[in-house]
């Protein structure tokens, strides 16, 4: 999120009375009428770039960004030294998602006027969208130093510091922003988020309440409020706010997922009565929502399916895709590294075994970088159920083939034979492993190998168990038994830490097996 400013307007000298009327219409948001007046003025003064800029502003006000771009470009051609035309063009390009040209126009404007606030903000916004947060911060900081009363610079600084995890700075800039504009929901929200990260739950609550006073319709504000109540260990209020976020959103998928995690986190704090009350209410209210049905049954320890539902998995991972790797890094996620070490152990220092490899459940391509060195030319395949995760994997440019499919379905139809199938932290979304491992065996060449991780069931003696986290845990004996039944010979089955979950360590197994 980054905030932009309104388009700047030009100044006129030759036609004051008609221009004043047109400007009055524009400021009254009567864009159609203003457009007529400015167009008439332009006929009389065809070389006036300021009139072209205002026509662009009128089109922008009407919501036609492409028409606005055309008129700002005309103004730039009319006067190549017009900083105003360039900065407005940069803003318009940013708003239609053409970040490359927006940045180019901003840089051109800044060469002519290094203190142009609009161009600095545009430059920062593009860099922010490109996730170049440090560079974006520098652009916003320059704007703020030029004008410390500039709200847009202050709030964008606060937001960028939040992304850079500089929570003290984020909080300081957000405090400045709310002083500059106490009616800004965005500024109050950022202030709350920064305070929450600093474990200042009371300050976070105060900021979120102020934001809700200004806009009680935003479900995310209730979600944040719920998180603040969790920090204070007030689970009654946390559940009330979390449920309101779901209801306020009309059952939006992101809020369903957040509520599922709220339920799971309450199990860690032994909030059994509240958990049961809200889980049952959730299941009853949303019988057709797969997130509610999967997570609601998981926290109630009802294993109603042999694996996670396809729609549930697609929704979860499509939403998490943009920040997935960052989140996993924060969990001390080790599955890819365990697999990488096992590959080195098996294949040693060979230059390249030239294998045809399938990354089954490849996600964002966490494993793709190190798998590439073992693959043959155009021999690294990736399959995942989530379109958004595959987009992230595609951006890494290491896979020769990427396919969207549920894994059991893929193996039931696959004709390609592989030398190696790798699957990192994927089996945790399957309870029964018979069909999955049988399909993998069928898709391996003779003597082919499968390497995967699987979470350990150390809670009971069941073959597999749907944990309250919504993930399946598997018994070591069951894993070995299913591998043998599918036609594999176990090479290695070693217990290891897979990741953290809250304050708990999740253990599991890293497994290597050869097709007999």
pLDDT confidence of residue 503: 76
CA torsion sign for 108, 111, 115, 120 is: positive
Label residues 224-243 b or e (16+ Cβ within 10 Å = b). bbbbbbbbeeebeebbbbbb
CA torsion sign for 326, 329, 335, 338 is: positive
Instruction: Tell me the two tokens of residue 20.
Output: 């004043």
Residues 153, 117: contact at Cβ < 8 Å?
yes
pLDDT confidence of residue 515: 96
Classify residue 458 by its DSSP letter. -
Q: What are the start-end ranges of the H helices in 397-466?
A: 407-413, 434-442
- Residues with Cβ within 8 Å of residue 234, at least 6 apart in sequence: none
With a cut of 50, list the residues of the chain below it in pLDDT: 12-13, 15
pLDDT confidence of residue 19: 85
Backbone φ and ψ for 448, nearest 5 degrees, come out as -70, 165
pLDDT confidence of residue 15: 47
Complete domains list, the chain, with CATH = 1-146 (1.25.40.10), 319-515 (3.40.50.150)
Instruction: Tell me the two tokens of residue 87.
Output: 């900065």
pLDDT confidence of residue 13: 47
pLDDT confidence of residue 33: 94
- What is the per-residue pLDDT across 380-422, written as a single tens digit (0 to 9) for each? 999 999 999 999 999 999 999 999 999 999 999 999 999 999 9
Residues 10, 53: contact at Cβ < 8 Å?
yes
pLDDT confidence of residue 411: 96
């Amino acid at each position: 999120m980054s905030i932009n400013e309104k388009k700047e307007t030009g100044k006129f000298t030759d036609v004051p009375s008609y221009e004043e009327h047109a400007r009055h219409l524009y400021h009254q948001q009567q864009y159609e009428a203003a457009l007529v007046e400015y167009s008439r003025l332009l006929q009389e003064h065809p070389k006036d770039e300021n009139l072209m800029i205002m026509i662009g502003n009128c089109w922008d006000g009407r919501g036609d960004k492409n028409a606005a771009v055309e008129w700002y470009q005309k103004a730039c051609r009319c006067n190549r030294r017009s900083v105003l035309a360039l900065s407005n063009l940069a803003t318009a390009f940013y708003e239609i998602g053409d970040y490359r040209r927006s940045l180019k126009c901003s840089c051109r404007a800044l060469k002519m006027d290094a203190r142009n606030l609009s161009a600095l903000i545009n430059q920062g916004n593009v860099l922010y969208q490109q996730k170049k947060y440090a560079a974006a911060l520098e652009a916003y900081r320059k704007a703020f130093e030029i004008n410390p009363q500039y709200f847009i610079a202050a709030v964008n600084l606060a937001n960028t510091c939040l992304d850079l995890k500089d929570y003290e700075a984020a909080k300081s800039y957000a405090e400045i922003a709310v002083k500059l504009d106490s009616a800004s929901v965005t500024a109050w929200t950022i202030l709350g988020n920064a305070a929450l990260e600093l474990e200042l739950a009371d300050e976070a609550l105060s900021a979120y309440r102020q934001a809700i006073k200004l806009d009680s319709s935003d479900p995310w504000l209730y979600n944040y409020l719920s998180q603040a109540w969790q920090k204070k260990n007030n689970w009654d209020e946390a559940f009330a706010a979390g449920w309101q976020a779901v209801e306020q959103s009309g059952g939006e998928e992101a809020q369903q997922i957040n509520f599922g995690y709220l339920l799971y986190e309450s199990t860690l704090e032994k909030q059994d009565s509240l958990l049961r009350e809200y889980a049952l209410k959730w299941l009853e209210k949303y019988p057709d929502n797969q997130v509610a049905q999967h997570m609601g049954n998981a926290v109630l320890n009802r294993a109603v399916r042999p694996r996670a539902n396809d729609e549930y998995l697609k929704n979860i991972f499509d939403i998490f895709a943009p920040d997935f790797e960052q989140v996993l890094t924060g969990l001390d996620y080790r599955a890819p590294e365990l697999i990488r070490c096992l590959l080195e152990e098996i294949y040693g220092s060979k230059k390249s075994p030239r294998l045809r490899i399938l990354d089954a459940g490849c996600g964002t391509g966490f494993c793709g970088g190190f798998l590439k060195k073992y693959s043959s030319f155009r021999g690294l395949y990736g399959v995942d159920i989530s379109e958004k995760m595959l987009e992230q994997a595609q951006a890494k440019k290491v896979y020769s083939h990427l396919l969207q499919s549920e894994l059991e379905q893929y193996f039931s139809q696959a004709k390609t034979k592989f030398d190696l199938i790798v699957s990192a932290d994927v089996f945790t979304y399957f309870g029964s492993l018979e069909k999955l491992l049988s399909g993998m065996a069928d898709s391996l060449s003779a003597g082919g190998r499968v390497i995967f991780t699987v979470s350990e069931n150390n809670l009971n003696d069941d073959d597999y168990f749907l944990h309250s986290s919504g993930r399946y845990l598997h018994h070591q004996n069951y894993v070995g038994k299913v591998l043998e039944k599918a036609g594999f010979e176990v090479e290695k089955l070693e217990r290891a830490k897979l990741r953290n979950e809250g304050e708990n360590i999740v253990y599991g197994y890293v497994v290597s097996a050869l097709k007999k």
